[in-house]
Structure 1
Amino acid sequence: MMRGGHACPVSLTPVKRGLSTPANCQGLMRAMEPFGAPLLTAWARAAAVGAVWLVVSGFTAGPEMASGGAASVPGIGAVESRSFITSDGARLHYLEAGPRPDLTAGGPPTVVFVPGWTMPGWIFEPQIDALKDRFHVLALDPRGQGESEVTAFGYSYERRGRDIGELIEQAAPGPVVLVGWSLGVLDSLAYIAGQGDGRIAGLVLIDNSVGEEPAPVARPSTASPSDRADIPEDERRRRRVAFVASMFAHDPGADYRARLTDQALRMTQADERRLLAYDVPRSYWRAALHSTDKPVLYVVRPRLRPQGENLVRTHADARMEVFETAGHALFVDEADRFDALLIDFLDHRVQSGAVH
C-alpha cells in the first residue's frame, strides 16, 4: 500500500515484541485507537497492516451466514438461529442454546448476552459453549449488527433498551441475567432505566464505564474532522480491521478477525456514529445501575478499576474482577477464567429463580 509516496510494508508473519511500525503507517494505526484504548500490540499492528494490504489487493474473507435453523457458529454445537419482530417492525436475530427453564421447578435463569458496538452475538462463542449444557442462553444481534436487520431507524439508547426487553419477553421465560459488553453495558442499563429490574436476576457488565467516579481520563484525540462525516469505504474497512485487532491481547486468528471485521461493517456510518453519541449525562448510567439491588459482577481492565472500587463501595450487591493483561474482548482473550467467574456468579450469587 502506498501512503505519501512510500510503501507501507506488508508482513503476514509474527512480529517480534517491540518492533516499531514504519512511520508512514503510524497514522493509520493511531486512527484506530478504539474508545481511547492504547496503541495496538505488536501482533495487532502486523495483522492490521497485513489486512490493509489484503483489502487494497481486492481480497476479503466473508463469513458464512446462517439463514435459519442450526446456526453457523464454529465450535458451538446445538445452537439455534432465530429471529423476532420488534414493536417498531425490525427483524432482530439471536442465537439460542441450552435447556429452556422449567419455571415450575425453579430452574436457573436465562443468560442473555448483549455485544458491543457493531459486534455480533457470536463473539460470545466461548461462553455459549461453556453454559449451554446447564443454562438457557440467548445471544442478541442488536439491530444493524450480526444477522439482524439493518434498519433506517432505532439507533438510540432508549430503543436499544426496548429491543433487549422485547427479546426477553419473546424468548426468555422466567428470570434473566444480562451480560453486556462495551456498548452492551450501556444498552443493558438503558433497559433497566426504561423497564426496571422486574425480570432481572443479575447483571454482568464487561469493560465499560458505568457512570461511577472517576470519569475515564480523556486521551488526546487522533480523530480528524472528517470522522464526523462519512469516509470512503476502503478507509472505513482499514480502520475497522485495526479496530478489531485492537480488541485482543492475544491474536484469535486471521480467519476469526476477518469474519468479525466483515460483520462489523454492516450498518451505515451515520448510525455507527449515533451509537457512539448517546445523549445522556454519565449520571444516567449510574442511576440506572443503582436503581437495582440485584447482584452485579463488574469485569474490567485496570483503567476502570477506580470506578469498580466505587461501585463496590456504594452498590448494595456489586463485586469487581480485574483482568490485568487482557484486551477489551477479555472474555475471548481469557475465556476459561471469565467462564469460571460467570458460572460461579450464576451458581452462588444469583439465587435460583430469584426475581423479587
Structure 2
Amino acid sequence: MPFLTADDGIPIYYTDQGQGIPIFLIHGWMMNHQFFKYNIPVLAQTHRVVTMDIRGHGYSGKQEINWTLQQAARDVRQIVNYLDLSEVILVGWSMGTTLIHNYFDQFGSEKLKGAVFIDMTPYLLKTEDWEHAVFGKMDLQAAVNLASSIIKDRMQIAEKFVPACFNVNLVVDPALRESWMRESMLTPNSAMVAFWLDMVTYDWRSHLAQIPVPVLLCYGAHSAVYPTQLGKHMHERIHNSQLIMFEHSGHSPFWEEPERFNAEVARFAG
C-alpha cells in the first residue's frame, strides 16, 4: 500500500493509476477513496487517476495531529509534488470540495488545470439570507448537536447520513447501506467530529467569483443533503463554470450515475 509521509509525519494513503492528464479524486466526510471504485478504473483508461484518503480517514494515519482541511489541502499539494503532477484536475465530493477551496486559498491555481465540485455548498449553515445549508436547514446549534451525537451514537448518525447520500426518491438497498456504513467505520469518531467542526467554520461564498480555474459543477437533482437550487446558484457565481445536473442522482452522482459522471469528467479534463 503506497503512503506518503506528510510534512508533520502523518502517513497519507494514496493511489496512482493510468497515464495522461491527472485527475485527483478527493472523497467526502467520513468516507475514503474506495467510494470512487466505479470511477477510477474507467477514468484511468484515458487519464492518470490519483486518489488519497484524507488524514484520519480510510487507510491514512489516525494520529490526532492537524485534523483540518487546511492541512489536508497541504497533503494534496505534497502528493502533487511527490508525483510530479501538473495540469491537475482536482475533483472534490462534498467535503472534498471544501478541501479544494482551501487549496485555492493557499496555492491558487498552481499545478492545476481545473476543478470539479460534486454536490457541495460554499457555506454549510443556514442563516436568514442563506438557504443552501446542509439538509436546507442546518444551523450552528444543529451542527454542534451533530458533533455531540457522533460521540454518543455513531451508528445512529451513519444510519441516517448514508441513505441521505442517494436519490431522495429511492429506497436504498440494505446491502448497499451496510457496505457504505462498514467502509465509513474506518474513520474514527474523533476524526469525524474534528473535520465536521472544522468544515462548518468555512464560508467560501465571497470567493466563488475569484476561483482561479475552470470548474465543472456536478449536482444531483434529487439531493437530500442539498435540496435547494444550489447547483444553479454556484453556476451563476462561478464565472468560468459548467453545470451538469444529474437527473437520477442525489448527493453521490459519481456512484449513482457513474457512466455519465465519468464521461463528463473525462471530457472536462480533456
Measured against the shorter chain, the TM-score band is 0.7 to 0.9
1:166 alignment partner, one of 54, 71, 78: 78
TM-score (norm 2): 0.82
- Aligned partners of 1:300, 1:199: CA distance in 2, in Å? 25
**Residues 57, 188 of structure 2: 8 Å contact kept:** no
Partner of 1:90: 10
Partner of 1:20: none
The alignment status of 1:142 with 2:65, answered yes or no, reads no
Structure 1 residue 265: Cα displacement: 2.2
Deviations 1:53-93 (A, max 9, x none): xxxxxxxxxxxxxxx3xxxxxxxxxxxxx211000111011
Structure 1 residue 219: Cα displacement: 2.4
SS of 1:241's equivalent in the other structure is: helix
The alignment status of 1:114 with 2:18, answered yes or no, reads no
The alignment status of 1:243 with 2:161, answered yes or no, reads yes
- Write the letter of the residue equivalent to 2:159: V
Partner of 1:345: 268
* 1:1-356 equivalence runs, <5 A: 68=1, 82-99=2-19, 108-211=20-123, 214-217=130-133, 218-219=136-137, 225=145, 227-228=147-148, 231-232=151-152, 235-249=153-167, 256-278=176-198, 280-282=201-203, 285-302=204-221, 303=226, 306-347=229-270
Deviations 1:205-226 (A, max 9, x none): 0001135985415427888958
Structure 1 residue 281: Cα displacement: 4.7
**Residues 149, 157 of structure 2: 8 Å contact kept:** no
Structure 1 residue 331: Cα displacement: 1.1
- Aligned partners of 2:146, 2:266: CA distance in 1, in Å? 44
Structure 1 residue 295: Cα displacement: 1.1
- Aligned partners of 1:138, 1:280: CA distance in 2, in Å? 28
**How many residues were matched structurally?**
255
TM-score (norm 1): 0.64
- Write the letter of the residue equivalent to 1:153: I
Judged with a 3 Å threshold, the aligned counterparts in structure 2 of structure 1 residues 248 and 83 are, in CA distance, closer, same or farther, namely same
Identical-residue share of aligned pairs (%): 22
**Residues 96, 138 of structure 1: 8 Å contact kept:** yes
- Write the letter of the residue equivalent to 2:190: A
- Aligned partners of 1:301, 1:93: CA distance in 2, in Å? 29
- Aligned partners of 1:226, 1:193: CA distance in 2, in Å? 27
- Aligned partners of 1:141, 1:149: CA distance in 2, in Å? 9
Unaligned segments of structure 2, at least 5 residues: none
- Write the letter of the residue equivalent to 1:261: M
- Aligned partners of 2:144, 2:228: CA distance in 1, in Å? 30
SS of 2:217's equivalent in the other structure is: strand
**Residues 179, 205 of structure 1: 8 Å contact kept:** yes
Judged with a 3 Å threshold, the aligned counterparts in structure 2 of structure 1 residues 231 and 156 are, in CA distance, closer, same or farther, namely closer
Judged with a 3 Å threshold, the aligned counterparts in structure 2 of structure 1 residues 310 and 171 are, in CA distance, closer, same or farther, namely same
Deviations 1:33-63 (A, max 9, x none): xxxxxxxxxxxxxxxxxxxxxxxxxxxxxxx
- Aligned partners of 1:126, 1:137: CA distance in 2, in Å? 12
Judged with a 3 Å threshold, the aligned counterparts in structure 2 of structure 1 residues 131 and 228 are, in CA distance, closer, same or farther, namely same
**Residues 39, 258 of structure 2: 8 Å contact kept:** yes
- Aligned partners of 1:322, 1:239: CA distance in 2, in Å? 28
- Aligned partners of 1:304, 1:242: CA distance in 2, in Å? 16
- Aligned partners of 1:96, 1:271: CA distance in 2, in Å? 25
**Residues 301, 328 of structure 1: 8 Å contact kept:** yes
Unaligned segments of structure 1, at least 5 residues: 1-67, 69-81, 100-107, 348-356
**Residues 116, 218 of structure 2: 8 Å contact kept:** yes
SS of 1:198's equivalent in the other structure is: coil
SS of 1:126's equivalent in the other structure is: coil
- Aligned partners of 1:322, 1:257: CA distance in 2, in Å? 24
Larger radius of gyration: 1
Structure 1 residue 323: Cα displacement: 2.0
SS of 2:197's equivalent in the other structure is: coil
- Aligned partners of 2:176, 2:75: CA distance in 1, in Å? 27
Structure 1 residue 247: Cα displacement: 1.6
